[in-house]
Structure 1
Amino acid sequence: MGKYIHTSLDLIYVVVILVGVSRMGKPYVFTGLLEAPPFFIIFLLNALSGLRFDFKISLYCAVVSILVVFGLGFYDIYSGYLIIIGGIMHTLFKASLVGGTALVSGYIGHRSKELVIQAITEEEEKKFIKSIFGRYATGEVVEDVLRRDLKLGGEEREVTILFSDIRNFTSIAARLQPNEVVSLLNDYFSEMVEVISRNGGTLNKFIGDGILVIFGAPIRHGNDAERAVMTALEMMKKLEKFNLKQAEKDREELRIGIGINTGRVIVGNIGSTERMEYTIIGDAVNFASRLESLNKELGTSIIISQSTYQHVEKIVHAKKLKPVRVKGKEKSVWVYEVVR
Structure 2
Amino acid sequence: MTFPFHSMQKVPIESYFERHFSDERLKREVQRAGVLSAIFLFTTVILLLLQPFLRDDNLMYLPGPIMLTITPYFLGMSAYEWNIRRWLKKQLQRHQDLPAIFKFANASFEITSISFIVFIVSRHLYDPLLILNSPLVYIYLFFIILSTLRLTFWLSAYTGIIAGAEFIALYYLITHPTLAEPYLEIDMFVHLPLMFIAKGGLLMMAGIAAGYVSRQIRDIIRDTIKATETEQQAVLLFGQQVSPEIAHAVLEQKGNYQSRHMRVAIMFLDIRNFTNYASHHTPEEVMDYQNTFFGIIIRIVEEYHGVVNQFLGDGCMITFGAPVEVDNPAEIAVEAGFAILKQLRKAVNDELMIPTTVGIGIHIGDAVVGNIGTETRQQYSVTGNVVILSARIEQLNKFFKTQFLVSSDVYNALATPPETAQSLGPTFIKGVDQEIELYQLF
TM-score of the aligned structures, taking structure 2 as reference length: 0.44
Aligned residue for 1:37?
Answer: none
Q: Closer, same or farther in 2 for the Cα pair 1:207/1:146, shift >3 Å?
A: same
- Relative to structure 1, the CA distance from residue 205 to residue 147 in structure 2 (aligned partners, 3 Å threshold; closer, same or farther) is same
Q: What's the secondary structure of 2:241's corresponding residue? A: coil
Q: Does 1:240 align with 2:342?
A: no
Q: Which residue, out of 346, 358, 362, partners 1:256?
A: 358
Structure 2 residue 318 is matched with structure 1 residue 213: yes
SS at match of 2:285: helix
Q: State the alpha-carbon separation in 2 of the partners of residues 169 and 278 from structure 1.
A: 27
1:183-332 alignment runs, 5 A limit = 183-246=288-351, 252-312=354-414, 314-317=416-419, 318-326=421-429, 330-332=433-435
Deviation at 1:252, TM superposition (A): 3.7
Query: How far apart, CA to CA, are the structure 2 residues paired with 1:327 and 1:158?
Result: 23
Alpha-carbon distance between aligned partners in 1 of 2:380 and 2:253, rounded to the nearest angstrom: 17
1:304 is aligned with what amino acid? Answer: V
Q: Is the 8 A contact 2:236 2:244 kept in 1?
A: no
Shift of 1:244: 2.0
CA distance in 2 between counterparts of 1:305 and 1:169 reads 25
What CA distance in whole angstroms lies between the structure 2 residues aligned with 1:234 and 1:188? 14
**Which residue does 2:183 correspond to in 1?**
none
* In the alignment, structure 1 residue 135 sits paired with structure 2 residue 241: yes
Q: Answer yes or no: is the 8 Å Cα contact 2:392–2:430 preserved in 1.
A: no
Q: In the TM superposition, what whole-angstrom CA distance separates every residue of 1:238-284 from its partner, at most 9, and x where no partner exists?
A: 110121244x7xx6411000000001122111122222211111221
For 1:212, the aligned partner's letter is M
Determine if contact 1:161/1:288 at 8 Å carries over to the other structure.
Answer: yes
CA distance in 2, matches of 1:305, 1:315: 13
Superposed displacement of residue 297, structure 1: 1.4
Measure how far apart 1:295 and its partner are.
Answer: 0.8
Write the distance in 1 (CA, Å) between the matches of 2:422 and 2:307: 27
Name the CA distance, whole Å, in 2 between partners of 1:327 and 1:201: 27
Segments of 5+ residues of structure 1 without an aligned counterpart are 1-122
Count residues with an aligned counterpart: 215
By how many angstroms is 1:229 displaced?
A: 0.4
Residue 338, structure 1, aligned to residue 441, structure 2: yes
- Per-residue deviation at 1:324? 2.1
SS at match of 1:277: strand
* Whole-angstrom CA distance in 1 between matches of 2:288 and 2:342: 21
* Mapped partners of 1:315, 1:144: distance in 2: 33
Question: C-alpha deviations, 1:6-25, integer Å up to 9, x for none?
Answer: xxxxxxxxxxxxxxxxxxxx
What letter matches 1:154 in structure 2?
Answer: S
Kindly state the Cα deviation for residue 150 of structure 1 after the two structures are TM-superposed.
10
Larger strand proportion of the pair:
1
Alignment of 1:160-179 (within 5 A): 160-179=265-284
Contact 1:262/1:308 (8 A) holds in 2: yes
Tell me what 1:21 maps to: none
- What is the CA-CA distance between 1:155 and the residue it aligns to? 1.7
| Preserved CA contact (<8 Å) 1:137 1:201 | no
CA deviation map 1:179-206 (0-9, x unaligned): 1011111111111110001100011010
Match of 1:62 in 2: none
| Equivalent in the alignment of 1:89 | none
Q: Measure the CA separation in 1 of the matches of 2:312 and 2:390.
A: 14
8 Å CA contact 1:204, 1:213 repeated in 2: yes
How many angstroms does 1:333 deviate by? 1.4
Q: CA–CA distance in 2 between the matches of 1:147 and 1:221?
A: 19
Find the residue that maps to 2:440 and give its secondary structure.
Answer: strand
How many angstroms does 1:312 deviate by?
Answer: 1.0
**SS state at 1:153 partner:** coil
Residue 413 of structure 2 aligns to a residue whose secondary structure is: helix
Q: Secondary structure at the match of 2:334?
A: helix
| Cα contact 1:269–1:279 (8 A) shared by 2 | yes
Q: Percent identity?
A: 30
Question: For each residue in 1:34-58, what CA deviation from the matched residue of structure 2 results, as whole angstroms up to 9, or x when unmatched?
Answer: xxxxxxxxxxxxxxxxxxxxxxxxx
